[in-house]
Structure 1
Amino acid sequence: MAEAILGDQDQYSCSICLDLLKDPVTIPCGHSYCMSCINECWSTNDQEGIYRCPQCRQTFDSKPPLNRSTVLAEIMEKLGSTGLSESAQCLAGPGEIACDFCSGERIKAVKSCLECRASYCEIHVQPHYNVPALKKHKLVKAAVIPVCPKHDKLLEVYCRTDHKCVCMHCLLDDHKGHDTVPSTTERNEKQTKLTQSQTKVKQTVQAKEQELQMMKIDIASHSDSAKKAVENSKKMFSELVKLIEKKSNEVIEEIKAQEKADLDQGTKLQKKLEEDITELKKRDRVLDDLLQADDIQFLQNYESVSSSSGPDGFQKHSFKPCCSYPDINKRVCELKERLEAILNLKINETFQKVSDLSIKDHPDCIKVGDKVRVKPSIKTPKFDWGTVTHKSVGVVKDIKSDQSLIIDFPESTSWKGLLSEMEPVPDDNECGSSTLNCNIKKGDKVRVKPSVETPKYLWGSVSHGSIGSVINVQGEAVTVDFPEQQGWIGEVSEMELVPALGSQTHARLKIGNRVSVKSSVKDPIHGWGSITHDSIGVIKRIQGESLTVDFPEQTDWTGVVSEMVLIQSDVSEVLILRSGARVRVKPTISTPAHGWGSVTKKSIGVVVAINGIKVTVNFPEQSGWTGIVSEMEVVP
């Protein structure tokens, strides 16, 4: 039983002090804390009158009553009495914190005291639970206690001006007059943002996992479909072979039957001829005897012998078979050729239909006339390189039914390759990057594109916000001098030009301007935070390419100049669209930003409120309808 309790020890820890619950209390949302910890946490909010759960952030309008949880208290006592001897024997492993008071073996520490600046195992930490003077010390999960390298004091304060943790002595020294807050306060604020980011990450992970599951199902279904197609093809061709064998046997049987009939006829004719020959030989002997007789016998028998049928009385016979076998051979050969032609035609038609479906499903498939190059992942094409390289760009001349294609490269005409080895090249991308990037030259100001997660040659000390000068361009490689790193090497396709500081973009954006994130920006470099594309804020500070904006949803939001758009196009509209004006959706608007609802293009309503670029209108079909100022027009 004790082992089971110890196995779940982490779930009985207070999330504020990270220690086992002492005088445990459970608040209405269901989370439990030490009574002293939650009281101390909420004491800072007494003036505001708002109380939140440190874990789930649920808000309570009034301070909930804190009553000691008897069941949890008993569990804590059992956990304390059964867990010490076992956990005290746990040795510290590589990278783990050891107890500062254990002699001999390195016993694993479980808590660190910020006041004592020492780490303790389960046995040596007990005085901090029992001794009244030590109970006030701040215990945290065992870790290396951060101290100020200059004053050797505990880091307790966060300097927002310099974005670093400092000690109390630093406040009177290097950070005097800076914007500073207690580290716990800054942690709570940043933890809230981090929790929101974590929630988004979890939602994204969940969505990606569902997408992955669906993809696995689709791939498995596709594989099963391919297997069924193979089995069905084998079955159909097997049946076709059986049909051909059956018809072949029928033809052979018919030939044999006809042969037997013809042979029977020939046998009968042969027998008849043999009988006629026998009869003629007998007559020949009779005539021969008569010719050798004397005159009286000759004359007496002449009439009887001459009156019998002579040679003209026998019918002539000839063998005429009903079937001509050379004709059969000729017809069988013709049938074979016709079957081959039809079979090839139908199979090619099937392949063509599959290819057409593939091209229809994948619009980027290569077709005749497209510009292509060999994929970077192909080490050696099936029909060899010849004079072609990965950088060669050619035009597709012909695509064969066997998925091979003929390409005219500048280095080699009528080059043969496989369709699967090639990738299309956009018209404006023959040099391996966009037209803008192809124009990158020595002296230009550049930065890494926001869409590049990791450059080919890694980040080094450079970041998305870094802006540097090009010192060399050689093929696809570019060398840039950044303030953070000199001689940084990247790919031309990874870089984008940055307007000079005196450019129109910077000239238009100045402190006090009302701005929003461009609709073309999917993910700002520094993240969304609490703002959206509809958020409108005021520029507070501009430093080079970075700027700070105060939005209603979030103050001190950090962004990049190139991500923002100046809100000025709707000023005239706002002046015209005032409360009480009769308006309707412009005919050029296909779908309003916030949807139609019950409103149509023929609906006419009255403006009841204007907030920045948003306008609220009462239509007969729908009251309180929300739209964008630029979507509306005044009705006379």
Structure 2
Amino acid sequence: MASSSASSSSSSSASSSSSSSSDIGVILNELTCPVCFELYKEPICLPCGHSFCRVCIEKSWENREEETGCVCPNCREIFPQKPKLKKNVIIANLVENMKLKKGKFGLEVRVTEHGDVNVKEGMKSGGSESFCEVCNREAAKRCVPCGILCCEKHLKPHQQKGHKLVDSGVKIEELRCIEHRKPIQLYCKDDGSLMCLTCTGGQHRDHDVVALEIAHAELKGVLAAKYPQVLQSMESVASQLRHVQEEEAQTENSSRNAEDSLEEKRRLVCQFVNESVDLMKSEINKRKMEKLSLLGKQREKLEQQMEDLRQGKSMMDAAFQDLEVVYFLQGSKDLLKRLETMSDFKSLKRTPLPVLDFSKEEKNLDGLIMLNKNFLEKIQKGPVEHPEKVELDQNNLRKLYGRTPSLDPNSAHRRIKISGDLRTATRTGTGNQYPEHPDRFDYWSQVVSCDCFSSGRHYWEVDVGSSYWCRIGICLNSMGRKGGKSGLGGNPESWCLDNECNNEFSAYHNDQCTDLSIPGDHERFGFFLDCEAGELTCFGDSRVLHVFRGNFMDPVKPAIGVWDDGGSVHFVHFVKQTFITN
């Protein structure tokens, strides 16, 4: 029993010692300056109730550059004028007593000079510096309610009060309510806005408001539910991308094979032409040699005859010059006999040789040349149409090039009212109060989109079911907006379809009309713009109605004109490759 009693007494003594040490630790924390984290030295009390060492608070105020007056480093209360600093006698006495009793409890109480206490110069609440706003130490966190940067030591009071702490690099303005400048703690599910506690008494009074943590968890759940859809869409797009890449590779290979085949045909054609020309040249040379041989023989025969004639003429000349009759008569017998042996030159006829004729061969070559010429002209005048364009239908156009243009309010005529989603244009009976703008139509009740195209391919659709007189199409961004010449289709700078009463449709450009045969009642029309090809293809009822051609490398905009009061025309909306309209 004695042993048990002793043990109990020892345990009680240890427990009492531990409790005393814990109580002393609490007391020491209360007697510690929140600036220097040492026991108060000449403690003073501010009007807000917080105490500091006199040297700590004075240095804190000396180094601040704010013009709002003196600020409490703890609660950030601002004093327009420097308050009178009175010594806190109670805290001073408690500090002195604690110094006297420090050895009794085995606690070490350090007393230091305060000359090293300093506050970062130029530091302001919410600044981007990475230094504690109370001392020169590196900042660890930022307190959202107080809006100051704190080091590890100066975070303790804020942690004890349950203040929200964030990384030092976070901008405090983004975590505060814009209207009340208080920490954001709530989320309004009705309008999706972030709120402070004060906001609940205003326009959000009857709204579904939850804590940020709850909203965060709920929205994460929503995103988690949509995550598989995103993955599925990514897989679908990746599959389409692979098909496009494979088709690109096939196109490259097909083009390369076609070029190689053409090069081989070029070689064969050149070989054929060269062999044909060489063969014809050889034949020409052969015929030339044959004819020259015959002509040579005729020439030799004629030359011999000419020599005989010269000799006869010479003999006759000599006889004519002989004046003696006896001599003349003596020689005449031989002369006549010599002349009789000569040919009868009067009857000499030369048989003409055939002329070299290569007209047939030349015609063959001319035919080959003409064939090639016609082939080249056909290629130049009628190039092969892009196969990918031929295969595109409206469904593919929606998926690959689908767009939802937005209307430009600055271009709307005063009698055109634009919907909040910027997709619908409605003609009103009275004018709307629009400000003056150089892009605004002042004569025709028209409007253009904000979208501007000058390259690539684009597809959009227009619903005209709520209007019985309208024009839809495109215009150059440079088209005039003022006066009667600014009507869609009535100038060289616009191309459009005209929908008049009784479903009569026409194509207009530069005030030239082309009537279109469109059986049935149509409310939706598609437009496919290929800027590089210079074509605007108009679709209706899944078929091509008309193709405009022009220089669409200059910036163009989709445009709408509504000319019946109360009529509406709107751009059809595309969402996730699904074609819908509101």
Structure 1 and Structure 2 fold alike (TM over 0.5): no
Larger Rg: 2
Q: Smaller-chain TM-score range?
A: 0.3 to 0.5
